[in-house]
Amino acid sequence: MSDAIAGSLYVVATPIGNLEDLSPRAARLLGEVGLVAAEDTRHTSRLLRHLGIAPALVSLHEHNESARVEYIDARLATGEDVALVSDAGTPLISDPGFVLVRELRARGRRVVPVPGACALVAALSAAGLATDRFLFNGFLPAKGGARRARLEALVEHEESLVFYESPHRIGATLADLATVFGERRLVLARELTKTFETFLDGSAATLMARLEADPDQARGEFVVMVEGAAPRSVGEVVSVEADALLTSLLSEGVGVKQAAGVAARLLGGARKSWYARAQRLKDGD
């Protein structure tokens, strides 16, 4: 049970570049709370000085987040309100805060979102890619093999794909995107809301050439967006699912005849056709 006088944790979105994007509500709360938990206190201090306020600050980042839970919970227990901020944008979105929010909610503490800037949403809103469904993947793995494996696992997804990427890895990431996605359309959003905000549109190979021709385009933080795969026909989907079923059965030691019978019962169709299909898969193995 939470304390009757317990304070609230406010999860406050801060600007990703343009300071005018800070909401009046966020500015007011940052001035009212007793403590601000910040990813980098030096970075957040600049924002607070801009606002003309000086609340108490404590660091909360990936290396000390678990250790900060008890300290912040104790402050809340006294009735004090606390704000959680990251260096830019909405906390927890590829930024620290998940452990803190999870633990405080489990203890019955009140956690209040204060919405505002978020790089992935800002990028999608101006990219011209489908936004009815999208899949956010945060930062891709730093190592090439793991990065390509992650991309290959996503290549057939029909929703738009969204990643964050740093300037020193954008070239390698574009090379892997070219290998995995071919001529699929990409949009790069760079330096969102800042002076040199740029959107680049084209295939991965085209964008690699753009960055090589103009090294300034490889500077800053990136949101990488990839057009979703073209929808497969019902027949294609059924074919893939059928082969997956038969392959799974055969790998478990089920005979061709028995696998064909299972497929016929589950998916319909002639047992003879399923037998021939299962035999082809077995021979292929």
The CATH number assigned to the domain holding 28 equals 3.40.1010.10
State whether 17 and 86 are in the same domain: yes
99, 117, 135 — which closes off a domain?
117
Task: Answer whether residue 126 is part of any domain.
Answer: yes
Task: Answer whether residue 152 is part of any domain.
Answer: yes
Nearest to 29 by CA among 48, 43, 15, 45: 48
Task: Answer whether residue 3 is part of any domain.
Answer: no
Residue owning tokens 């093999």:
145
The amino acid occupying position 98 is F
Identify the pLDDT of residue 68.
Answer: 97
State whether 207 and 277 are in the same domain: no
Identify the pLDDT of residue 75.
Answer: 97
State whether 19 and 45 are in the same domain: yes
State whether 212 and 146 are in the same domain: yes
CA distances, 119 to each of 17, 29, 197 (Å): 10, 22, 12
Task: Answer whether residue 2 is part of any domain.
Answer: no
- List pLDDT tens digits, range 153-164: 999 899 999 999
- List pLDDT tens digits, range 70-98: 999 999 999 999 999 999 999 999 999 99
State whether 134 and 74 are in the same domain: no
Bridge pairing between strands 160-165 and 222-226? antiparallel
Task: Tell me the HSE value of 30 on the side-chain side, using a 13 A CA sphere.
Answer: 26
DSSP string covering 135-150: EEEEEPPSSHHHHHHH
Task: Answer whether residue 150 is part of any domain.
Answer: yes
The amino acid occupying position 3 is D
Q: Please report which confidence band the pLDDT of residue 240 belongs to, taking 50, 70 and 90 as the band edges.
A: low
Q: Please report which confidence band the pLDDT of residue 238 belongs to, taking 50, 70 and 90 as the band edges.
A: low
State whether 113 and 124 are in the same domain: no
Task: Answer whether residue 124 is part of any domain.
Answer: yes
Task: Tell me which of 30-39, 102-111, 168-177, 250-259 is least confident.
Answer: 250-259
Whether the per-residue pLDDT at 236 is higher than 60: the answer is: no
Identify the pLDDT of residue 266.
Answer: 80
State whether 278 and 265 are in the same domain: yes
Q: Given 3-state DSSP classes, what are the helix, strand and coil percentages for the chain, each rounded to the nearest 5? A: 45, 20, 35
Q: CA-CA distance, 276 to 278, in Å (whole number)?
A: 6
State whether 108 and 15 are in the same domain: yes
State whether 113 and 137 are in the same domain: no
Task: Tell me which of 134-138, 149-153, 202-206, 280-284 is least confident.
Answer: 280-284
Identify the pLDDT of residue 241.
Answer: 74
101, 117, 133 — which closes off a domain?
117
Its pTM stands at: 0.80
67, 97, 117 — which closes off a domain?
117
> Helix or strand or coil: residue 25?
helix
State whether 99 and 124 are in the same domain: no
Number of structural domains (the chain) is: 3
CA distances, 6 to each of 26, 34, 65, 110 (Å): 20, 13, 21, 8
Q: Which residues form the domain of 173?
A: 120-226
State whether 112 and 160 are in the same domain: no
With a CB cutoff of 8 Å and minimum separation 6, the contacts of 54 are: 48
Task: Answer whether residue 219 is part of any domain.
Answer: yes
State whether 204 and 280 are in the same domain: no
